[in-house]
């Protein structure tokens, strides 16, 4: 893909590995939610590609809702102070919720979202994240279903961006600046 001047992309997780892992996660989630009313809550914008593939890999009836949040503070660092830009459209009463996230870094954003969703009357709340930068964690947040653990590097693709670019890459790539 065309890149910005002074920027190069290196594939970290190829598309076929992502697809295989998503299929595997879908099968596990199907077994765990066989007889339950499942709602996927995708966190915009980064998880829009992941949730589209994951939803189709899950073989139980489900609904999908979206939340959009923004983090106050410096743009590349999470502050833990989260503002809800788009809240849920539907009640979670009696539902089993799976929060679908693109990446967990410090855990501050997801920790806030987890608390918010749990306060909305769901029967259960679990978390599924495609990527996990475990070495960066500042608050413990339970990631029940995980795609890949990755090193502390800034990644793009498969929904993830840098300044809104590269979300449409099929692979997860690291951005190398020269």
Is residue 65 near ligand 5GP by the rule CB under 6 A? no
Give the dihedral sign, CA 95/160/44/168: negative
Listed as own residue / partner, the contacts of 54-60 with beta carbons closer than 8 Å and 24 or more positions apart are: 54/22, 54/25, 54/26, 54/29, 54/100, 54/128, 56/26, 57/22, 57/23, 57/25, 57/26, 57/27, 57/29, 58/26, 58/29, 58/30, 58/33, 59/26, 59/30, 60/29, 60/30, 60/33, 60/34, 60/36
Is residue 159 near ligand 5GP by the rule CB under 6 A? no
Binder to ligand 5GP among 104, 125, 128, 169 (CB under 6 A)?
104
Shorter beta-carbon distance to ligand 5GP: residue 22 or 33: 22
- Would you mind telling me the total number of residues written for the chain in this entry? 178
Is residue 49 near ligand 5GP by the rule CB under 6 A? no
152 in active site: no
**Per-residue x/- track, 28-47, ligand 5GP (CB under 6 A):** ------------------x-
Is residue 105 near ligand 5GP by the rule CB under 6 A? yes
Binder to ligand 5GP among 18, 143, 156, 172 (CB under 6 A)?
156
Is residue 169 near ligand 5GP by the rule CB under 6 A? no
**Per-residue x/- track, 77-96, ligand 5GP (CB under 6 A):** -x------------------
Q: How far is the CB of 41 from ligand 5GP (least distance, A)?
A: 13
**Whole-angstrom Cα distance, residue 146 to residue 159?**
16
Assess whether the previous peptide bond of 145 is cis (omega < 30° from 0).
no
Q: Which spans of this chain sit near ligand 5GP (rule: CB under 6 A)? A: 46, 78, 101-110, 154-156, 160-162
């Amino acid at each position: 893909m065309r890149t910005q001047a002074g920027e190069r992309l290196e594939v970290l997780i190829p598309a076929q590995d992502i697809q295989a892992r998503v299929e595997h996660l879908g099968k596990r989630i199907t077994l765990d939610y066989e007889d339950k009313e499942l709602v996927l809550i995708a966190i915009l914008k980064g998880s829009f590609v992941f949730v589209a593939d994951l939803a189709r890999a899950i073989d139980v009836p489900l609904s999908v809702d979206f939340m959009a949040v923004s983090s106050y503070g410096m743009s590349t660092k999470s502050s833990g102070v989260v503002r809800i830009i788009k809240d849920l459209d539907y009640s979670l009463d009696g539902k089993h919720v799976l929060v679908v996230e693109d990446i967990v870094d410090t855990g501050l954003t997801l920790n806030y979202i987890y608390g918010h969703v749990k306060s909305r009357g769901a029967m259960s709340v679990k978390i599924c994240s495609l990527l996990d930068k475990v070495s960066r964690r500042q608050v413990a947040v339970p990631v029940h279903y995980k795609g890949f653990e990755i090193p502390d590097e800034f990644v793009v693709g498969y929904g993830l961006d840098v300044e809104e670019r590269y979300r449409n890459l099929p692979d997860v790539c690291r951005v190398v600046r020269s």
